[in-house]
Amino acid sequence: MNTSYVRSAADEGNEQQARHELLKALQGIRFSSIPPESPTLAALIPSMLRYIGDVDSALRDEWIYGSFSQWIQAGWLEEDQLRQVMDAVLKGDGLFFRIGEQETDSVFTRSFSMLLIPLILSSDRRSPWLHEQEWRALFHAVLRVLDEERDLRGYVPEEGRGWAHAVAHTADALEDLAQSPLAGSVERLHMLEGIRRRLLGAEHVFVHDEDDRLAAAAETILTLGQLEQEPIEAWLERFGEEPAPEAKPFAGEGRINARLFLQRLEIRLSVYPQQASMVQQIHACAAQLLM
């Protein structure tokens, strides 16, 4: 008898049962008119984190992430539970799970771990609980992922996997980081430079609105921060550079991404009268990137 096959089949059955039980529990909470008690939520968090990158898009997007979103926005999670989520996100099996892989399912764990960071930061804005070193740990982690993520797929149609969207989710986290008073000029410039490197270093043209999500982050970085004109001008000039040496031979993808991003940013900043000069500079920079 092939015992290894028997064990693997049993393990798969156990996994399916665990997913089913988690789904039933999350549905029961959402459809109930009575807010759950804290111990009930606490018991589910480890399982939710375990399956945060499940390939079943309904379980992952609607029920696990959707439940985290509902619970955190409603203030149902206690501070120690929020820290439990944050610590799991920052560990190697969260944001950095098998980072560097391409075209594998590991991207869903990284991407949906990233999507929890805006929820964590928004809860801190409503009722501060993060220590400065914790905020900085999130800041450095997001910038590292922005630089090191190599699976840049948006929508993954195979077998119902759905949205990977690692770049878009990282942009969302950047936008929330930029809303913090701890984001000074140095941090904001690092964010902008990370965005530029991501755009120019991509190996394909973004087609799932990643350019606008990154532009939304840059809008917040620029409009909520007090940044000197000179470093911003230098940042715009660097969009004319070729991607980093580790990228594949330059074929224009990064330039197209950069141009689309700048055009989106120009539109977003045009509603701010005080940004008129910046809008003109961005428009000129985008025009220089025409293929």
Predicted local confidence at residue 145, as pLDDT: 98
Q: What is the average pLDDT score of the chain?
A: 93
Q: What is the mean pLDDT of residues 17-34?
A: 95
**The predicted structure's pLDDT at residue 188:** 98
**pLDDT over 80 at 213, yes or no:** yes
How is 190-230 classified by DSSP, letter by letter?
HHHHHHHHHHHH-SS---SSHHHHHHHHHHHHHHHS---HH
**Is residue 244 over pLDDT 60?**
no
pLDDT for residue 169 is more than 80: yes
Q: How confident is the model at residue 2 (pLDDT cuts 50, 70, 90)?
A: very low
pLDDT at 291 (0 to 100): 61
For the segment 259-285, what is each residue's pLDDT rounded down to a tens digit?
999 999 999 999 999 999 999 999 999
Degrees to nearest 5, angle at CA 90 with 54 and 113: 30
% pLDDT > 90, the chain: 86
Taking only the tens place, the pLDDT of each residue in 6-23 is 456 667 778 999 999 999
Cα(81)–Cα(230) distance, integer angstroms: 43
74-81 mean pLDDT: 96
Work out the pLDDT band at 1, boundaries 50, 70, 90.
very low
Does residue 183 register a pLDDT over 60?
A: yes
Does the pLDDT at position 158 exceed 60? Answer: yes
Q: Which helix (H) or strand (E) is 156 found in, with range?
A: strand 155-156
Please check the confidence at residue 237 and state whether its pLDDT lies above 60: yes
Q: How confident is the model at residue 92 (pLDDT cuts 50, 70, 90)?
A: confident
The model's confidence at residue 44, banded by pLDDT at 50, 70 and 90, is very high
Which of 89-103, 114-128, 236-250 shows the lowest per-residue confidence on average (mean pLDDT)?
Answer: 236-250
Residues linked to residue 77 through DSSP beta bridges, in sequence order? none
Residue 251: the pLDDT is: 57
In the prediction, which pLDDT does 240 show? 86
Q: What is the pLDDT of residue 101?
A: 97
Angle at 256 between CA 253 and CA 258, to 5 degrees: 110
DSSP state of 183: -
Q: Do residues 199 and 250 touch, judged by C-beta distance below 8 A?
A: no
**Contact partners, residue 53, CB within 8 Å, separation at least 6:** 60, 97, 105, 106, 107, 108, 109, 110, 111, 112, 113
Residue 252 in 3-state DSSP?
Answer: coil
Task: For residue 290, give Cα distances in angstroms to 54, 216, 238, 285, 287.
Answer: 40, 22, 15, 9, 6
Q: What are phi and psi of 100, to 5 degrees?
A: 105, -20
Contact status, residue 272 vs residue 224, Cβ threshold 8 Å: no
Residue 242 has pLDDT above 70, yes or no: no
